[in-house]
A and B are shown apart, each in its own frame.
Chain A
Amino acid sequence: MTDFDRVGIIGCGTMGSGIAQVCAAAGCQVTVLEVDDAAGTAGLERIGAFTAGGVSRGKLTEADRDALLSRVSASTDVAALADCDLVIETVVEDAGVKHTVLAAAAGVVRPGTVITTNTSAVAVTELAASVRDPARFAGLHFFNPVPVVELVEVVRGLRTADDVVTSLIAFAERLGKAPVEVKDRPGFLVNRLLIPYLNDVIQAYDDGLASADDLDVALELGLGYPTGPLALLDIIGLDTHEQASRNAYAGTADPQFAPPPLLRRMVAAGKLGRKSGEGFRVHAEDGTR
């Protein structure tokens, strides 16, 4: 079993910076790879801001935060990943782009290095064809916000070696996460269950079953869900959810994943949720309901 002490993260957006943060918090040396210096700096600043919040809430000491930040560096040169024990790819959900960056990473790392993808949309087994050694390739699917949500899906591709799965589960536990091993099927496990439910609620809302507030209140109070479905969609972003639905539908031809007409219309109208100021509700500028 491998200890992944040096971790390379390709892409330092919302997911990449969150993953970099939890890896550094667990003591790993982290290198984030971005397309240019500005993007790298923005990624590091995101980690700086999130951990500053942790300090002000008393979850993290100033000294621990400094140590954490000192373990993260940014680069624009893929050669910086050469010494990594583990690479986690977090770039845009585009199979072509992912293929290019994974092939580049596979070209510089040592034999035996485990390369993973944080994709939620592309088949892991398909992306495994990008690297020299598909047995050392798997999915490592974190959830947003990464420092908060405990679940990590460890996705076993058709050619992933057993010891790679075992090592990744141990690594996720070292990060303080709750890993589950899942099959390489559309939506893996959580999105496989979440997408049909959210689409079902959107359709029922469109059918006039109840108001947006009443739907959310019923599911929050009736089932103890932390966030009602329509409020959750506004947080996720309707465009993001529509894309996830389309991907799952394309991968299964199962109508329960098909994006409902109202969802498509709302995306077309620019009603994307919090990020655009309006989704199922109008949001204040600070992003609150």
Chain B
Amino acid sequence: MTATGPLTVGVLGGGTMGSGIAIVVARAGHNTILRDIDADRVGAGLDKVGAFLDRSTKLGKLPAHRAEAARRNLTGTTTLDDLAECDVVIEAIFEDTDLKARTFAELSGICKPDTLFHTNTSTLSVTAIAAGATHPERVVGTHYCNPAPLMKLVEVVKGRQTGDDAYQRTVEFLRSVGKVWVTTKDSPGFIVNRFLIPFENNCIRALADGLGTVESIDRAVTKGLLYPMGPFTLLDIVGLDIHRAVSLSLFDQLRDRRFAPPPLVDQMIAAGHLGRKAGQGFYRYDDRRAFGA
């Protein structure tokens, strides 16, 4: 793999993260193959990419010819065999260690002897995923932030077995797609979630303890710490169910009570108050107040 010419890159998973990463890679000029398990999912993923590129052009962020080039760089498939020529395969599939490891193991028999295997896991151990792959030294964590096409940051995670060569080539690849990377140990939550989750749980506890209201705590954080968004506004966007799952996963791995979702989270989930997507979370939403409108 050279740092210059276009690469062939496989992206596994046509969901929010997979399609977002496919945009990043295709927009940077690499040949991009989006793979999911059935034609409907592949189609949905490609549609998301197309819609994003259209919107970028309409907003004047991406010239039409570059959007067109990105579209030409992108194909879809349901077959892992179509990833044989890939220099890099980035998985953004379901958060399941065995599934990710088995997929990489299968790809090891299909891809080239120097193909890099990138996992976009946010909560699992890169070392554990690599352990089940045939070539753990070529498995590297690359954790993109949502929305991937807009957020500059990628956390590069070295598993215990990650080779220096694979790490260096990963960094070159991220440079080629215009990302800013930071390097972290393979520690639960890496950097961003490692510090965000306990902070949010602390905010939820402060609310439950009556130290403030939803509005006053959001106000204190945005006006006092100058964060772009208050914790409850952010939690409503993320979704309480997702927050609970991430918190529990980190709690299970770290056995540190600060990561445990407070009881209020369970109550809100039981009541169906999952956040923006449910019309109610810490705040109540109607269509006119939909995010980004």
Contacts and interface: CB of A to CB of B under 8 A. Distances in A.
B198 A190 contact: no
A196 B198 contact: yes
B59 interface: no
Interface residues of B, number: 38
Contacts of B220: 151, 153, 180, 182, 189-190, 193
B21 to A, nearest CB: 16
A223 B199 CA distance: 12
A210 B227 contact: no
Contact of B184 (A149, A209, A221): A209
A78 to B, nearest CB: 31
B185 interface: yes
Contacts of B225: 190, 193-194, 225
Interface string A210-226: 11011101110111111
Contacts of A225: 225-228
A283 interface: no
A190 B211 contact: no
Interface stretch (A24-32, A80-88, A105-113, A197-205): A197-205
Contacts of A193: 199, 202-203, 206, 220-221, 225
A221 B148 CA distance: 12
Given A189-B216, A193-B199, A222-B153, A214 B191 contact: yes
Contact of A183 (B210, B227, B258): B210
A178 B226 CA distance: 12
B120 to A, nearest CB: 14
A65 to B, nearest CB: 25
B229 interface: yes
B277 interface: no
B255 interface: no
Contact of A221 (B180, B195, B203, B226): B180
A62 B185 CA distance: 54
Contact of A189 (B190, B191, B199, B206): B206
Contacts of B219: 151, 178, 180
Interface in A65-92: none
Interface in A215-248: 215, 217-219, 221-226, 229
A194 B199 CA distance: 8
A150 interface: yes
Contacts of B151: 221-222
Interface in A132-146: 143
Interface string B213-235: 00011011101111111000000
B91 interface: no
A149 B191 contact: no
B193 to A, nearest CB: 9
B243 to A, nearest CB: 14
B191 A218 contact: yes
Given A201-B195, A209-B191, A218-B184, A185 B211 contact: yes
A221 B202 CA distance: 22
B171 to A, nearest CB: 12
A268 to B, nearest CB: 26
B194 to A, nearest CB: 7
B161 interface: no
24 contacts: A151-B223, A151-B224, A153-B224, A180-B219, A182-B216, A189-B212, A189-B220, A193-B203, A197-B199, A197-B202, A200-B195, A214-B182, A214-B184, A214-B191, A218-B155, A218-B182, A219-B191, A222-B155, A222-B191, A223-B192, A223-B228, A225-B227, A226-B227, A256-B258
Interface of B: 145, 151-153, 155, 180, 182-185, 187, 190-192, 194-196, 198-199, 202-203, 206, 210-212, 216-217, 219-221, 223-229, 258
